[in-house]
Amino acid sequence: MIVIGFDPGSIIFGVGILKKENDRISCLYSEEIKLQEKDFYTKMKVLWQRLEVLYQKFPIDCAAIEEGFLGKNVKSMNVLSTVRGVVLGSLLSRDIELKFYSPRAVKLALTGFGNASKSQVGNMVNILLNLNPKTSSLGADESDALAVAFCHLMSIKPGGMEL
């Protein structure tokens, strides 16, 4: 099974692709998509196009994304909701199912502690995926995307059923 995980952002968008074969989980790919364009429409177009390239390159079975949290800044929440909508639309066009996970659920799946720090999650991503932090320096959004994909794989029982 190949899962793509997303850590949505309107400036830096994290993507992580994991493969689970038997009981082994391995990292196939990860990146931080830099959305440097000035206008929001162009940023979303660049995001859609980059995701399309990844869907063509990897036979994605399912996707997972970190849910937003209700913050005080309504404008930021609206922007991130639109980013999630672009992701959902790109997945719908490919008939790839999307699952949502709270930040707490992701942290719990990786560290066993729902209030873990970003650095603790990043360290566990390196350990669980057997990545060498000296040779593969993951950005925070990239690491979070891998964590979301890992969380999804951990939620699937043997035989393909979700917990």
Q: Which residues are catalytic?
A: 7, 66, 141
The answer to whether the CB of 125 falls within 8 A of the CB of 147 is yes
At residue 158, what is the residue type? P
For tokens 């390239």, name the residue. Answer: 53
Which residues on neighbouring strands pair with residue 16, listed in sequence order? Answer: 5, 30
Q: Alpha-carbon Rg of the chain, whole angstroms?
A: 15
At residue 82, what is the residue type? T
* Angle, alpha carbons 5-8-11 (nearest 5°): 135
Six token digits for residue 22: 């038997």
At residue 143, what is the residue type? S
Q: How far apart are CA 45 and CA 16, in angstroms?
A: 20
Q: How far apart are CA 125 and CA 30, in angstroms?
A: 12
